[in-house]
Chain A
Amino acid sequence: MNPDPGADIFGQGRQALALAVAAFGGRGIFASARRWQADGTWIGPAEAALAVVDEATLPSGASLPELRDQGANAVLCSLGSPRLGEVAELGMRALLRVPFASGDVAEDRRARLDQLAEMRGRLSARDGIMPVPVGEAQGLETISFFAACRLACPSAHLVVDLEIFGHKLGQLCLSFGADAIMGCIVGKRAPRLGERASSNDLTHDEAALLLRASGFEPCAWLPEGKVRGP
């Protein structure tokens, strides 16, 4: 049985948004990110606040301290990852990947959200939760899942990866519990012409606009883990 994505989407959204606003005093985060590749290179702006390594693509034997020395400051981890403690000890951000799929069995999804709820006490203020679709990201399914994550974990950062969801659906998630957007966010981007017309890159002003349009006061995550206010 699929979860019913349309079930009281307005009530769910209202509740999730209220929790997100309450948790962070109405501030919304944008985080410029670069991502570590398995070949040892980085993709994304060099000045990015987040330098993210994905636990799932680390070569065997790769050590987080070494990656941190190469600039990494955030680790994309699975729920219940054995590396969570080490990530915290190293002062890196943990971004908890929470998968969801269009064909999810309702009980499985519930169990995943229960597991997420149990993580509440283990997340620091710098950590975040990142819902990630398995396969195609559906509209209503996505916003509904973001809202469910916010209800499960009311006070953690709920981060939208714009590389996955794009600007439109990503921004919509901000009305359904998310409080942070992450992507290639730069001071100046190339014009959207020709081959660049479909680029997901955003300027700081454009990222701030997405947050403002959802009612948040935009703030930026800084590389050293601090937040720059409006």
Chain B
Amino acid sequence: MELGGLANEMRERLHGDRTYWNRNLHINPTNVCVSACKLCSFSRRSAGDPGAFVLGVDEAAGKLAARLAADPRVTEVHIVGGLNDGLPFDYFTSLLAALKAVGPGISIKAFSAVEVFFFHRTYAMSIEEVLRRLRAAGLDSLPGGGAEILSPRVRKAICPNKCGADEWLEVHRIAHRLGMKSNCTMLFGTVESAAERVEHLLRLRDLQAETGGFAAFIPLPFHPENNALGDLPAPTATEILRTAAVARLLLANVPHLKAYWISLGLATAQTALWFGADDFDGTVSEEKIYHQAGARSPEALAPGDIERLIRAAGRVPVERDTFYGMPPLAHPSAGQEAV
């Protein structure tokens, strides 16, 4: 409770009662993944496995078009997927270009550092070249996923085939140097110690001190359902709030802390708004990764629902774009003028 109070003081000093949210859409291009992380409930090992999919570029563009038709004020597409070595690099640049063609004003936050590093290895390009080419195709910023715990010991235990901690940080460092913003995360509640969590946060803080490129930190409690770590207990709500509060205090140089309602659940996310969090994330629509890991939250929220949930927590909802600016009233679709 004392910790929560301190984190709340900092949250209110930075943002008052303001609680940010956005209108976004999640797209998962593929769940085929060579990484075989023990913590994952989403991936399939090969394209022939039951439930494996690769989203067609036109199909992805169609999803965005449909979403924009339903709500022209959507500002962001969030894209993360598996490490699928059966796809050419062109697939990803075509995907970005197709989405930008549908919604030129849409901000595309895509490809975790793990995916960017995988592209670098698979397609024999430098990390910088990968980022430059993705950006030329339409990429605006990077999501914060794949950080898990930035400790070699933990990564070896839960995600041995993913890029290492130094490599994850290096991708973000280069992205920031190129002028791109990104988010950072911490997946907690598997095999890590408290000291390893703190070390993780300190490494994020150090990089932020160097580059200033992180917009938000997102604490992600581990979901044990449907994966190889299913015998571990899920972090309790108290642990989630304590972790959010510690992160708010330690990451004083990262402006925003997100209560990602998909992962936390609505009630815990609401409560986190008093334990350091100032962002409720977005409308999302069609979330797969956490729901296959047993998340009980809805798969999407209407803007009115998000505002109601924030107000019910005693905070003031503020709609934002990806970069925490005011969103335009509506984005022009391809071939249309902005109103």
Contact = CB atoms under 8 A, between A and B. Distances in A.
Interface string B213-231: 0000000000011100010
A6 B274 CA distance: 8
Contact of A169 (B4, B237, B273): B237
A213 B296 contact: no
Interface stretch (A41-49, A63-71, A74-82, A138-146): A138-146
A201 B267 CA distance: 19
B240 interface: yes
Q: How large is the interface on A (under 10, 10 to 19, 20 to 34, 35 or more residues)?
A: 35 or more
A102 B310 CA distance: 12
Contacts of B293: 197
A140 B274 contact: yes
Given A138-B312, A140-B270, A10 B230 contact: no
A143 to B, nearest CB: 6
Given A193-B230, A210-B236, A139 B294 contact: no
A139 B236 contact: no
Contacts of A169: 237, 265, 267-268, 271
Interface in A159-217: 165-169, 171-172, 174-175, 191-194, 197-198, 206, 209-210, 213-214
Q: Which one of B5, B234, B271 has the highest number of Cβ atoms from chain A below 10 Å of its Cβ?
A: B271
SS class, residues of chain A in contact with chain B: helix
A210 B234 CA distance: 10
Interface of A: 4-7, 9-10, 13-14, 17, 102, 137-143, 165-169, 171-172, 174-175, 191-194, 197-198, 206, 209-210, 213-214
B269 interface: yes
Given A192-B226, A193-B226, A139 B1 contact: no
A5 to B, nearest CB: 5
B163 interface: no
Nearest to B41: A197
Interface of B: 1, 4-5, 8, 224-226, 230, 233-234, 236-241, 264-271, 273-274, 293-294, 296, 309, 312-315
B271 A140 contact: yes
A167 B4 CA distance: 20
B313 A140 contact: yes
B233 A5 contact: no
B185 to A, nearest CB: 19
A138 B296 CA distance: 15
Contact of A197 (B226, B268, B315): B226
A148 to B, nearest CB: 15
Nearest to A212: B236
B296 to A, nearest CB: 5
Nearest to B240: A168
B265 A213 contact: no
